[in-house]
Structure 1
Amino acid sequence: MINSAFVFTITNAVLFQVGWFVCILCGSFWAGVFTLAAIAFHFMIVQQRRDDAVAVLIAIALGLLHDSLLLHSGQIQFAESAYLPPLWLVCLWALLGITLNHSLVWIYSRPLWSGLLGAIAAPLSYLAGVSLSSAEWSSPLVEVLPIIAILWLVVLPLHRFLSLRVLSYVQRKTTGLSSSHSRS
């Protein structure tokens, strides 16, 4: 018998990988369509919706910050926009957000390891993504890839830190509201 949690974890990972290719190869329109469908599917079947919503929103915020830093520091450029990262790249961050509590939880829950893995995997992902998409490097790779690696030393640990803080805050507010309603 196949464990449903295992099937969900594999589906979650495959959804991200397919989404990576759709976002990189098909541009913003199809990236948006795929990401909306993937997120809708994810939130229909997942039980921890609040945790995952926080993960997605923080991933998008960190992604916008990360990629805007690369864009405005002259490391990368996008055909679609000179001021903000394109929608297809934002979609990749949203898709990453739905993996963190599921198929990537094994690394995400270990800040040191997630930072180290991010410092290795993210430059490789950007290298592949830029070669397949409309993005272009604006600086030499020997300059850009170490910058991405350094940023990713903190991206996943920072994401985890922020997620836990936001969820703790929401939990306190929710518990406070429940307590005040029960006293009424």
Structure 2
Amino acid sequence: MHDSSTGTRHPSTAERWAPYVYFVVGQLGWFACVLSAARDVPWMGVATTIVLLAVHLARVERPLQEFKLLVSVLVVGAIWESVPVATGLLEYPNGIVFPGIAPDWILALWALFAAQFNTAFGWLKQRMLLASVLGAIAGPMSFRAGAALGAVRFAQPWPATIVLAIGWAILMPVMILLSRRWDGVH
């Protein structure tokens, strides 16, 4: 909406609710990936994520920019997630395509997570320290939740938690920088 008397643009109701919708959809996608992996049908979570990402790319202003973000975060995630697998800190019972590399459903989660940086997590773009702290806390918590649901096992719980916390404290600001560079939403 545009206010002609002041020359300012006011966000529509849909724009105001979009961050919340993206957060909820992201959580639903997380559950789809984790629960399907825990039930030995990880392709279901991957397929769900592909549909959610296709809808996301179809509705953004600059799909190519957003696609670049999704791919770059997916590559970062693929490299990072393979470290705790290759070092034996984490074990995934399902979805492993190549030994020593993160499973396909985790990579799908990274792409889904990337779609939230210019939507649900846009408020973090100017708060790098907070992003780092949130990453250090929420990253390991997400893995703990996945372990509780049976999608991942902590082979070495304390070292894995520490490595995940450090990694996510670094990765969240990196992903925010990537989302600043490739923002297809705003």
Q: TM-score higher than 0.5 here?
A: yes
> Which range moves more in the overlay, 147-156 or 129-138?
129-138
1:88-115, Cα deviation, whole Å (9 max, x unpaired): 1111101100000110111244221111
Which whole-Å CA distance do the structure 2 matches of 1:96 and 1:75 have between them?
Answer: 22
Return the TM-score normalized by structure 2: 0.81
Matching of residue 145 in structure 1 with residue 161 in structure 2: yes
Q: Which amino acid aligns with 2:164?
A: I
Return the TM-score normalized by structure 1: 0.82
Matches within 5 A, 1:3-152: 3-27=13-37, 28-80=42-94, 81=96, 82-139=99-156, 141-152=157-168
Question: Do 2:23 and 2:116's aligned partners in 1 also have CA atoms closer than 8 Å?
Answer: yes
1:35-72, Cα deviation, whole Å (9 max, x unpaired): 11101111111113233212211221111111101111
Task: Give identity over the alignment, percent.
Answer: 25
Matching of residue 159 in structure 1 with residue 169 in structure 2: no
Question: Do 2:124 and 2:176's aligned partners in 1 also have CA atoms closer than 8 Å?
Answer: no
> Which range moves more in the overlay, 100-109 or 19-28?
100-109
Question: Do 2:92 and 2:152's aligned partners in 1 also have CA atoms closer than 8 Å?
Answer: yes
Number of aligned positions between the proteins:
165
The root-mean-square deviation of aligned C-alpha atoms, in Å, is 1.9
Which whole-Å CA distance do the structure 2 matches of 1:133 and 1:95 have between them?
Answer: 20
Q: Which amino acid aligns with 1:34?
A: T
Which whole-Å CA distance do the structure 2 matches of 1:163 and 1:18 have between them?
Answer: 22
Task: Please report how far the alpha carbon of residue 157 of structure 1 lies from its aligned counterpart in structure 2 after TM superposition.
Answer: 1.1
Which whole-Å CA distance do the structure 2 matches of 1:77 and 1:155 have between them?
Answer: 21
Which whole-Å CA distance do the structure 2 matches of 1:115 and 1:48 have between them?
Answer: 27
Residues 112/48 of structure 1: CA separation in 2 closer, same or farther (3 Å cut)? farther
Which whole-Å CA distance do the structure 1 matches of 2:34 and 2:86 have between them?
Answer: 21
Which whole-Å CA distance do the structure 1 matches of 2:113 and 2:126 have between them?
Answer: 15
Question: Do 1:23 and 1:30's aligned partners in 2 also have CA atoms closer than 8 Å?
Answer: yes
Which whole-Å CA distance do the structure 2 matches of 1:39 and 1:113 have between them?
Answer: 26
Gap runs ≥5 in structure 2: 1-11
Which whole-Å CA distance do the structure 2 matches of 1:48 and 1:110 have between them?
Answer: 24
Gap runs ≥5 in structure 1: 169-184
User: Which one has a larger percent helix, Structure 1 or Structure 2?
Assistant: 1
Residues 121/134 of structure 1: CA separation in 2 closer, same or farther (3 Å cut)? closer
Residues 124/108 of structure 1: CA separation in 2 closer, same or farther (3 Å cut)? farther
